[in-house]
Amino acid sequence: MKSSSLETRVELENLLRLHNTLTRKIEQFQTGPGRQVAIYTCGPSTYLQPHIGNYRTFVYEDILQRYLEYLGCKVTRLMTMTDVEDKAIAEAKKENFSLEELTKRNEAQLFRDFELLRIKVPDYTVRASSVIEQSAKIVLSLIEKGYVYWFLHRGRINAYFDPLKFEGFGKLAHLDMTKWPTRKRRFHIDTYPGTPWNKGDFVVWYGCKKGDLCWSTSIGQGRPAWNIQDAAIVTQHLGFHVDIAAGGIDNLVRHHDYTLAIAESLSGKRFADFWLHGEHLFIDGAKMSKSKGNVLYPDDLRQKGYDGSCVRFFLMQHHYRKRLNFTFEKFAKASKLLEEFKGTIRNLEKASSTSDSKATQLVSSITSSFEESMNRDLDVRSAFNSIYRIVAELDFLRKQGHLGTQHANSALNALKRVDLVLKIIF
């Protein structure tokens, strides 16, 4: 699918407003003709099994897609799968696996977790290894345009992108480019420890030397660096413009500005209208890391007796742009709240008396209050809290003999519609 043109945009009737990282403002979201929406989301690096911090990002992206569909949009979503990078090659060697064996094993776990957490599998889940030639063509085009050049480094002839050649580089992270060093510097590997801004030219293609993992391409033997892979994946499958690009806050350092610069250098047009970034999930106040031994996976929680809806519910408890801290005490409390809520909803099926005007008002407010909160930059927590209060009031009316079967059924139908987005109730 190719995304709609920038010239003809249509406002959503429900006035959905989203925070745009590019402008740092809350803006009204618009769609193209036919309400078609193209979304690019950053998927996992499949050299390791994804943890619940990754799934916090994937859950908010899933809710974004589901809510747009709830509003009547036709969404095409792509997720990138990083299966060719320095870390993956090193991990495969360490485990004595082929790169394909390693990454497909972790990819299979990803999709099992998607099913557990009720995350919709995107229309396109694209491995970087499937766009090697597209990456090579992009490198060649960028060389011809003057953005990329060849350089010999440790026996490899690599290709590097010069950010100073692209007007507006760093606009997504709002970098102060007056502080960019004038002395030529090059950064030669996919990723670096931590999240520093590597102020210099970044590698987009690795040449080949003996013992390397390489592919035969139109520009010779080599492989794409991580920095070019998302641009190659998106341009091959969605074209040079998407309505929304989304990922975790980590992607805001280097990665997304690199992707933006590469895509816009090729097309000369805006790559994405909206950029969304979700905040971290911490464990007991600390960032997850293998060295700290605090990495948590969905299976860990499932084995403790919690189902996927509990995990999904916890991950959406805070606004996606606010840091969320996981503790087992908070998780158990949230799980109990969800089960109580489901129990209250089941009670509505017992309604058998005659409704009063208050019941009519409450039933009609289920979807309106949900939409009001969701239209405020996907405020899921407020949306849930408002629904929780309405359901509690309806159950109170039932106990008082003022909720009839017809209104109870209407409430349940409204809740089922809302749950097409939340996926935690039924």
Per-residue pLDDT, 11: 60
Per-residue pLDDT, 191: 86
Q: Is 152 helix (H, G, I), strand (E, B) or coil?
A: strand
- According to DSSP, the residues that pair with 242 across neighbouring strands are 272
* Residue labelled with tokens 């490899």: 156
Tokens, residue 191: 């990723």
Residue-wise pLDDT for 71-81, tens only, equals 999 999 999 99
Mutual angle of helices 380-399 and 357-374, in 10-degree steps: 170
CATH architecture of 316-422: Up-down Bundle (1.20)
* Residue labelled with tokens 């060719």: 84
Fold of domain 10-278: Rossmann fold (3.40.50)
Q: How far apart are CA 187 and CA 99, in angstroms?
A: 24
C-alpha torsion angle, residues 315, 107, 113, 59 (rounded to 10): 30
pTM over 0.85: yes
Residue ranges of the chain whose pLDDT lies below 70 = 1-14
Domain range summary for the chain, segments of one domain joined by +: 10-278, 316-422
Q: What CA–CA distances, in Å, run from 257 to 22, 25, 171, 241, 317?
A: 10, 18, 7, 15, 29
Handedness of CA 283, 286, 289, 294 (dihedral sign): negative
SS (H, E, C) 327-381: CHHHHHHHHHHHHHHHHHHHHHCCCCECCCHHHHHHHHHHHHHHHHHHCECCCHH
As to burial, measured by CB atoms within 10 angstroms (0-12 exposed, 13-18 middle, 19+ buried), residue 94 is: exposed
Residue-wise pLDDT for 345-358, tens only, equals 999 999 988 888 99
As to burial, measured by CB atoms within 10 angstroms (0-12 exposed, 13-18 middle, 19+ buried), residue 164 is: middle
For residues 405 and 352, the answer to whether their CB atoms sit within 8 Å is yes
Per-residue pLDDT, 336: 98
Of 253, 325, 320, the closest CA to residue 296 belongs to 325
Tokens, residue 54: 């990754």
For residues 222 and 198, the answer to whether their CB atoms sit within 8 Å is no
Handedness of CA 37, 373, 422, 315 (dihedral sign): positive
Spell out a b/e string for 26-61, using b for 16 or more CB atoms within 10 Å of the CB, else e.
Answer: eeebbbbeebbbbbbbbbbbbbbbbbbbbbbbbbbb
